[in-house]
Structure 1
Amino acid sequence: MTNVQALIDAISNGALYGLAALGIGLVFGVMRLANFAHGELITIAAYSLVLTWHLGPWVALPLALLASVVLALLLEFAVFRRMRRANPATLLIASFGLSFLLQRVYEIAFGNNVRTAPVAPALARSVEIAGMRVQMLSLVTILAAAILLLALHQFLNRSSLGLQVQAASADFATARLLGVRANKVIALTFGISGALAAVVAFVLTVQTGAVAPTFGVNVTVLALIGAVIGGIDKLGTALVGGFLVGFASSALTTYLPSEAVNFRNAFVFAVVMVILILKPSGLLVRGPVLERA
């Protein structure tokens, strides 16, 4: 593998983790909730893709998106809406409990065995660009992430609802006093996080072709770590932090000796610990993280 190919793969992986971190950061912005159950949104979308891909992509992709968004809205309505005034630590514990509960639900519904299906196998092939063999999925992931980020940026900065989300993220209490409808804005952010989770699920499912009840846990943990080291209080810094973790994980996979590749996450965690000791509020954030009023 050439350095350019390794770089493209690392950028693709960084984009994937950046999208996951952005979904987590959106919800944290308005609720101060570090949502561990985000991984189960990824998992339900992956199950939907694997179980319905034989119906064709025009059926499977919308169903996966719908499953993830509906589950995100259901969690918001049934659980987090009733805990809105709870402190961040309580919300964190609740989301962790939900994550564990949903994993058991997936075990009951789909079994402990891994479910497999060749999802979008054409994307797993390589194409030749300027004499290099590059995996099609890496290019599609980078392109899709760029389009989604541009669309989300336009939505947040050019639409009334997007501006309300930004206002709620900056100062939720003041935004409510100015007329921002809390239920609408929070439900919207959960819905967007569910949509982003579905995109992450698609890429991971194409890569592995398999899904299990804990499918989304690893990517969620790493994305959450990325969001924290970047600065989870702001969408831009959370996104960059997620990208850096994904990029580093891919680069370590490429350049570490074969006997040390399985310990790549340990190297990532070690770097994260150093960063948080030196800058507890995040690598890209100036000053302390704001607390919710």
Structure 2
Amino acid sequence: MNGKILIEFFINVFSMGSLYALIALGLVFVFGICQLINFAYGEFITVSAYILYFVGTFTNLPWPIVFLIAILVGVAVGYISELVAFRPFRGRSLDALLVTSFAISVILQNMFQIGISPRSKPVPVPAVLAQNVNLFGVTTPLRNIVMIITTIVLLVVLTLIMKYTPLGIAMRGASENFVTARLMGVPANQVISVAFIICGFLAGVVAIFWSCRTGSVEPMMGGTPLNIGFIAVVIGGMYSLPGAVAGGYVYAFISNTLSLVLPTTLLSYRDAIMFIIVITFLLLRPEGLIRGSYQEERVG
């Protein structure tokens, strides 16, 4: 393997891993506090992608404003879903919350199909992000570099929030033991709402980069990032924010390695091989790469 191929490989790993890490974080923020796998997370991403399509296609707003609107809509969807759909069922069984999560996903998918179109729509993206740049002698789209830098900035900001702000400290306490944290005065509704707001924010950011890579949006689009995020979380650890980030990069590394080493005749089996690797990893290390604080209590 020559040097250029190796550099291109790692650029792809870090750019895709950055995207996958953001997806996984959106799942872990909710799971860490509510013990709930948010199956509607993929549709949060799809909503923001459709906003990019509509605002980017039918207005002449500057791209930073278009991106901001898509992210704010993701935040709103996250908050409203928690307030209207999840909060009324929080005192019931975990099964009720999971069914609610599935229901939101199906409802949004059908709304997209009936209200917009079952066919894919082209999402306009800034031409500058599609331009190629030269990095260490390798040509790569600018969006890959922007994706890596954006993820690093967001990880630093989220880390500072979680470590040094009262709300972040409350969220960390709630993720370790929600019942004890609530007895100590942590506002349950506020903490859970913020977790869903962060989830929606990350969904909006993911929608931007996902749309830049695919160039389109369709009603069932959210399934793929949801599956990727879930696998990344399984690899990294369901109870650890650093684990979710690590899982995203590990997933990207394995996926790109398989694409590089598999013969052409076996490339169509890449995803199947990926799942076999993940299942094997889960059997050998069920807690993931980074063991987080496990809490028996579910939010009630």
Common fold: TM-score over 0.5: yes
Give 2:232's aligned residue.
Answer: 226
Q: State the one-letter code of the partner of 1:52.
A: V
On the 8 A contact 2:175/2:295 being kept in 1, the answer is no
- Secondary structure of the residue that 1:133 maps to in structure 2? strand
Q: Distance in 2 between matches of 1:83 and 1:106?
A: 25
Q: Quote how far apart the aligned CAs of 1:158 are.
A: 1.0
Q: Quote how far apart the aligned CAs of 1:289 are.
A: 4.1
Q: Quote how far apart the aligned CAs of 1:182 are.
A: 0.7
On the 8 A contact 1:18/1:241 being kept in 2, the answer is yes
Match of 2:267 among 261, 264, 271: 261
Alignment of 1:195-274 (within 5 A): 195-274=201-280
Q: State the one-letter code of the partner of 1:31.
A: C
Q: Quote how far apart the aligned CAs of 1:285 are.
A: 1.9
TM-score (norm 2): 0.92
- The more displaced of 96-105 and 211-220 is 96-105
Give 2:92's aligned residue.
Answer: 86
How big is each residue's C-alpha offset from its partner over 1:112-155, in whole Å with a ceiling of 9 and x where there is no partner? 11110331222122111232212211111110000000000001
TM-score (norm 1): 0.94
Match of 1:19 among 18, 22, 29: 22
Q: Distance in 1 between matches of 2:158 and 2:198?
A: 9
How big is each residue's C-alpha offset from its partner over 1:260-279, in whole Å with a ceiling of 9 and x where there is no partner? 32322211110111111122
Q: State the one-letter code of the partner of 1:224.
A: F
Q: What count of residue pairs does the alignment treat as equivalent?
A: 292
Give 1:290's aligned residue.
Answer: 295
Q: Distance in 2 between matches of 1:89 and 1:260?
A: 39
Give 2:63's aligned residue.
Answer: 57
On the 8 A contact 1:43/1:213 being kept in 2, the answer is yes
Give 1:173's aligned residue.
Answer: 179
On the 8 A contact 1:224/1:242 being kept in 2, the answer is no
How big is each residue's C-alpha offset from its partner over 1:188-242, in whole Å with a ceiling of 9 and x where there is no partner? 1100111111111111111111000111211111111211232111211122122
On the 8 A contact 2:48/2:73 being kept in 1, the answer is yes
Where structure 2 has 5 or more consecutive residues not aligned to the other structure, the ranges are none
Q: Quote how far apart the aligned CAs of 1:282 are.
A: 2.2
Q: Quote how far apart the aligned CAs of 1:101 are.
A: 1.8
Alignment of 1:81-160 (within 5 A): 81-160=87-166
Give 2:169's aligned residue.
Answer: 163
Provide closer, same or farther for how the CA distance between residues 248 and 86 of structure 1 changes in structure 2, counting only shifts above 3 A: farther
Identity of matched residues, % = 35
On the 8 A contact 1:24/1:35 being kept in 2, the answer is yes
Are 2:78 and 1:75 equivalent residues in the alignment?
A: no
Where structure 1 has 5 or more consecutive residues not aligned to the other structure, the ranges are none
Alignment of 1:23-62 (within 5 A): 23-54=26-57, 55=60, 56-62=62-68
- Secondary structure of the residue that 1:229 maps to in structure 2? helix
